[in-house]
């Protein structure tokens, strides 16, 4: 037997013994709640479809816990407009245990699968390892990957006018020169790892590929005109 219910503007397929997470309900932990918006009930070959709800249907649940979901980041960014907004959101939820549908409760085996049993303490004495060296190594690797790349100490001859590349202004040209990038041929030969490193260091993720600096630099290095 199972039912299709509606709560918090969403629909759920539930059966006795199921655990589900729904939009926050005003009920304390351990309290029983009745879910009255029942759209359909299936009991073997018997199917009851509501219009919109099934008359006389009854789904009972118990509140297991209240909590908040994982943080969702919202970022708004407009390039070349000095506009960037960032916010976070964590949605409230209520964890329910379906106890019965039309008075039919969950079988003993299914009821024993309550999520409360999963919260029992775990013996970690046999798995106690020393993660500190691994964490230190990972931290050092991450730190190394964020170090500023260095290409040339000085230009090979006369430096190119990098401002001919669309998206590069005087300030950005100075930052590229500080990294040792003076010539179109250097930008044309950038690898994906080098591009990612430059993006991270100069804090403009995706601009190099989005504006096709590599393609523009190849064209300019071969004597082409700026696009």
In-domain check, residue 147: no
Number of helices followed by number of strands (H, E) in the chain: 7, 11
The pTM assigned to this predicted structure is 0.44
Longest CA–CA span in the chain (Å) reads 87
In-domain check, residue 156: no
Domain count, the chain: 2
Report the candidate in 203, 159, 217, 150 with the shortest Cα–Cα distance to residue 180.
150
Q: 13 with 103, same domain?
A: yes
Q: Is the peptide bond before 171 cis (omega within 30 degrees of 0)?
A: no
pLDDT tens digits along 164-187: 888 788 877 888 888 888 888 888
Q: How far apart are CA 222 and CA 117, in angstroms?
A: 69
pLDDT tens digits along 43-58: 888 899 988 899 888 8
Range of the domain at 194: 162-221
Integer CA distances (angstroms), 194 to 65, 147, 151, 179, 199, in order: 48, 11, 10, 11, 8
Q: Is the backbone of residue 8 left (phi > 0), alpha (psi -120 to 50) or beta?
A: left
């Amino acid at each position: 037997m199972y039912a299709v219910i509606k709560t918090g503007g969403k629909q759920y397929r539930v059966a006795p013994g199921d655990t589900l997470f729904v939009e926050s309900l005003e009920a304390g932990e351990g309290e029983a709640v009745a879910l009255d918006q029942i759209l359909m009930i299936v009991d073997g070959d018997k199917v009851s479809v509501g219009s919109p709800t099934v008359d006389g249907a009854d789904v009972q649940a118990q509140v297991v816990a209240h909590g908040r979901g994982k943080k969702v980041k919202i970022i708004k960014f407009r390039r070349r407009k000095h506009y960037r907004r960032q916010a976070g959101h964590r949605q409230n939820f209520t964890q329910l245990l379906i106890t019965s549908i039309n008075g039919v409760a969950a079988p003993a085996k299914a009821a024993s699968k309550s999520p409360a049993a999963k919260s029992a303490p775990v013996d970690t004495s046999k798995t106690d390892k020393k993660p500190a060296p691994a964490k230190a190594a990972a931290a050092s690797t991450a730190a190394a990957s964020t170090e500023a790349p260095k290409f040339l100490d000085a230009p090979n001859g006369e430096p190119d006018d990098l401002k001919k590349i669309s998206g590069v202004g005087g300030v950005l040209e100075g930052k590229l020169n500080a990294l040792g990038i003076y010539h179109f041929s250097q930008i044309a030969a950038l690898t994906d790892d080098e591009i990612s490193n430059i993006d991270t260091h100069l804090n403009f993720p995706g601009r190099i590929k989005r504006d096709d600096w590599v393609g523009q630099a190849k064209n300019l290095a071969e004597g082409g005109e700026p696009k």
